[in-house]
Amino acid sequence: MQALANSETVSIAQPSAGTYARRTVTVDFLYLDTESCDRCRGTETALESALERVEPVLDAIDVSVTVRDVHVSSLAAAESTQLAVSPTIRIDGRDIQPNFIESACESCGDLCACEGDVDCRLWRYRGEEHTIAPVGLLVKALVQAIAPHQMEATESRGAEAYQLSSNVREFVEGSGDEETDGGCDC
């Protein structure tokens, strides 16, 4: 282990026994400019709001979130982070919306020394396009990351055909309602 501890690419963590079992989800917020870009600044605010909304769930399911704020200010930084579009939010290394679209960003266009427009990300959510990441989209992505098995179970249940359970049928039929035959007196 001593040789690994001296490595530049491997870090050794020594968590306390109380934090060992806790799972950590990493959220990367990559952006070009939160000082002037309305889309980057707005998406940062939306991410903060989404994190506040899921915070009560985190303790209940013993998950922590680490947010990495990554200002990409050079071509080398863009290449090393593999930033394709700004702003980008990745959860555990995955872009929450990998099939992105872009449009001209007025606030970034004013900053650029080049001719023409600068394009920034458009977020798609519930059939609409948004210049700032919608809080609902971010909450959904966070919940899928912190509780993936619960989301899969919920989504697979929704795909099944509806079927009235026998206990509901018996209760409704026996409720004494005039529209039913009334099989029980409860």
Single-letter code of the amino acid located at 73: S
Number of Cβ within 10 Å of residue 133's Cβ equals 27
Domains, in order of start, for the chain = 2-148 (3.40.30.10)
pLDDT for position 180: 45
pLDDT for position 55: 92
Is the pTM higher than 0.75? The answer reads: no
d(CA 172, CA 182): 8
pLDDT for position 169: 75
d(CA 11, CA 30): 23
Which phi and psi angles does 37 have, rounded to 5°?
Answer: -80, 115
DSSP calls for 14-73: ---HHHHT-EEEEEEEEES-TTT-HHHHHHHHHHHHHHHHHHHHHHHTTEEEEEEEEE--
Number of Cβ within 10 Å of residue 120's Cβ equals 26
Which phi and psi angles does 82 have, rounded to 5°?
Answer: 60, 40
CA angle 41, 45, 50 (to 5 degrees): 145
Number of Cβ within 10 Å of residue 172's Cβ equals 13
Lookup result for tokens 């912190």: 146
d(CA 16, CA 30): 30
pLDDT for position 172: 72
d(CA 135, CA 123): 11
Of the candidates 143, 136, 50, 47, the residue with the CA atom closest to the CA atom of residue 87: 47
Bridging pattern class, strands 23-31 and 63-71: parallel
User: pLDDT (tens digit, 0 to 9) for every residue of the chain, 186 residues total?
Assistant: 455 445 465 666 677 776 666 788 999 999 988 888 899 999 999 999 999 999 998 888 888 899 999 999 888 899 999 999 899 999 999 999 999 888 788 777 555 555 556 788 899 999 999 999 999 999 999 999 987 765 444 445 455 566 666 767 777 777 655 554 445 555
d(CA 186, CA 180): 14
